[in-house]
Amino acid sequence: MLQDSCLVSNDINYLNIVTDDEISSILRGLKSQKTLYGFLDCCNSGTGFDLAFINLGVYTSKFTNNTIPKLTDEINTNCSIISSNYPDKINNIPAKVILISGTRDKDYSYEGQINNKVGGFFTYVLCNLLDYGVKNMSLKLFYFYLMALLNIPNQIPVLTLSKNLNLDQTLMNDLNFVTKSQLATKKQIIIKKHQTYRYFMK
């Protein structure tokens, strides 16, 4: 990485910048038995946590189905992953950190009208996939479903990891989440303007 990525917030009327180095420094404080899942739906966010292992999905043609069961066959024949790593970042973070970003470092993360509200397309498909149920789904299949449901050739999600996990054998059982109704009941959903933030804790 030749330059820093950063998150920029103006929620409180001034610009506040958090670099990927700062995020990585915080993550280094997590204990080895912990697991953290992160999701970023913003432009140029591919390596937003500055993690060691990078996985980029590739598909040969646009998907013709838009429902999860029907996409399975297309994913099996249409999808592959290009993996790489940054040797100097291996073993920097003791915990298992899994980040799925809405797009690559060089690309935009698109938004538009969804159910009469402005929202990010990546967030929309992510929430739909979580509501569908991912308990016994492999991390690789979860990632492929996100890419296929998004189905935007110039917005490819990126999967980055602190550990060199086996994507086929790592299951999403660790991702403890609740349904929309449970979120509303427990007041774990925060809505600000047109953005919805969900918190997933282990």
Domain ranges for the chain: 6-198
With a cut of 90, say whether residue 117 has pLDDT above it.
no
Q: Say whether pTM exceeds 0.85.
A: no
69-78, pLDDT tens digit by residue? 899 999 999 9
- 160, amino acid identity: T
pLDDT value of residue 13: 63
Tokens 């959903």 found at = 189
In sequence order, what are the beta bridge partners of 81? 57
pLDDT value of residue 2: 55
| Burial group, residue 84, by CB count within 10 angstroms (0-12, 13-18, 19+) | exposed
Phi, psi of 192 (to 5 degrees): -130, 120
**Interacting residues of 151 by C-beta distance below 8 A, sequence separation 6+:** 62, 63, 66
With a cut of 80, say whether residue 11 has pLDDT above it.
no
Whole-number mean pLDDT of the chain? 83
pLDDT-based confidence at residue 174 (cuts at 50, 70, 90): low
